[in-house]
Amino acid sequence: MKNNLLTLGAGLSAFALVFVATKWWNAPPTGTAVRDSTANQPTGEPPVVTVPGMIWIASGEFTMGTDSELGWPDEKPAHRVRVDGFWIDETEVTNAQFRAFIEATSYVTTAERVPTVAEILAQSPPGTPAPPKEKLVAGSLVFTMTDGPVDLKDFSQWWSWTPGANWKHPDGPESNLDGRELHPAVHVSWDDAVAFAKWAGKRLPTEAEWEFAARGGWIDKPYVWGDEAPSDLRVFANIWQGKFPHSNTKADGFERTAPVRSFKPNGFGLFDMAGNVWEWCGDAYDHDAYARRVGSVVIANPFVERSADPRNPRTTSRTQRGGSFLCNDQYCSRYRPSARHGLSPDTGMSHIGFRCAKPVRGSHTRQSVGQ
Ligand SMILES: [Ca+2]
Ligand SMILES: [Ca+2]
């Protein structure tokens, strides 16, 4: 059901968060750059057409995940993967692009729909009392900076269930998209992203495609731009500088989302593969997916169909990549290309967006709204 929460590392049913926030339920929280010689080398027939707004990523092999101490357990172990060639959007999907989809289809996003009691209880811990009907309103989780330092385990300090918040009103019902046409669309659920992709004749990238594309042809680099850790003095992407969640120096120029293309692209010409907004992938989220691949030499086009998410055991979690404007090294540093995160497919938040991919022919993944 909508709005399972995730934020920088913590995960909990969204309604659990709402309950916590409203105090009527307390849920237990559950160096020298080296090119990869095998990456992005054309094999077989190269594309004979161009796709506006997309970059062709030729098939190749790469090392997926990391064994670095920077990596979280779900990023390990590193292993070899091969992906077929594919197109991928140069940028995150913008508000202007998302508006065109809505106007053409009259699609109603998850955050604009009133949840049902059944939907809430299906994803709540056993024994959770049914919420009163007056609490069943359409909305989304909006980030608000705190007044001072807070317990970083208590995400309800900076996430607020906000009735009326959705892609058209990203900061709440009084906000709008004026001047944000080229910002990434946010409060977009996985279901919404899949619906957009189908309308556009595309699909979401697989995790393997996304990471292969994010690495831009480089190997053994912790960041999409190379080796150097970001700082107030060295800005590479729209992330969080300062002390999260109460002090943002905005050294990169942006407190919240930035227009796409505001920072240098990676080695493949892709923008914001680190930071700005999290990006949905097609795969289900399996925390132990890489551990299950030990023993394989090279895995071709991996795609996770069954989720195994300790934080969201009652739903098919879907994977997000790239981190957001809320990430910093003090908390999660999930703007690294190997970083992964799982969330319920009906969750949209202030820092969640997406981009699309497109295979040359057909699709080797299955993506259906409601999975
Ligand atoms: Ca920023
Ligand atoms: Ca991004």
- From the CA of 186, the nearest ligand is 2
- 82 DSSP assignment: E
Whether 159 and 245 have beta carbons less than 8 Å apart is answered as: no
- pLDDT tens, 242-272? 999 999 999 999 999 999 999 999 999 999 9
Of the ligands numbered here, which is closest to the C-alpha atom of 253? 1
| Strands 352-353 and 278-284, bridge-based pairing | parallel
Q: Give the pLDDT confidence score for residue 37 in this predicted structure.
A: 40
| 288-306 pLDDT per residue, tens | 999 999 988 999 999 999 9
Residues 6+ apart with CB under 8 A from 251: 231, 232, 233, 235, 241, 242
Residue 87: the pLDDT is: 95
Dist. CA 260 → ligand 1 center (Å)? 13
Give the burial string for 243-263 (b: 16+ CB within 10 Å, else e): ebbeebeebbebebbbbbebb
DSSP of 233-257, one letter per residue?
SS--SS---EETTTEE--TTS-SS-
- The predicted model gives 70-98 an average pLDDT of 96
- Report the predicted TM-score, pTM, of the whole model to 2 decimal places: 0.87
- 244 Cα: distance to centroid of ligand 1 (angstroms): 11
Q: What are phi and psi of 228, to 5 degrees?
A: -80, 125
| Strand 79-83 with 298-300, pairing | parallel
pLDDT tens digit string along 8-43? 333 334 444 443 333 222 222 222 334 444 444 444
Tell me what the pLDDT averaged over the chain comes to. 85
How do the domains of the chain map onto residue ranges?
Answer: 32-108+183-371
SS3 (DSSP) at 20: helix
Q: 139 to each of 135, 287, 365, how far by Cα in Å?
A: 11, 28, 30
For the CA of 326, the nearest ligand: 1
CATH number of 32-108+183-371: 3.90.1580.10
The Å distance, Cα 19 to ligand 1 centre, comes to: 29
Whether 168 shows a pLDDT value over 50: the answer reads yes
Amino acid at 115: P
Q: Which ligand is nearest to the CA of 183?
A: 2
pLDDT at 40: 46
* 198: helix, strand or coil: helix
Residue 239 CA to residue 251 CA, distance in Å, equals 9
Cα 274 versus chain centre, distance: 10
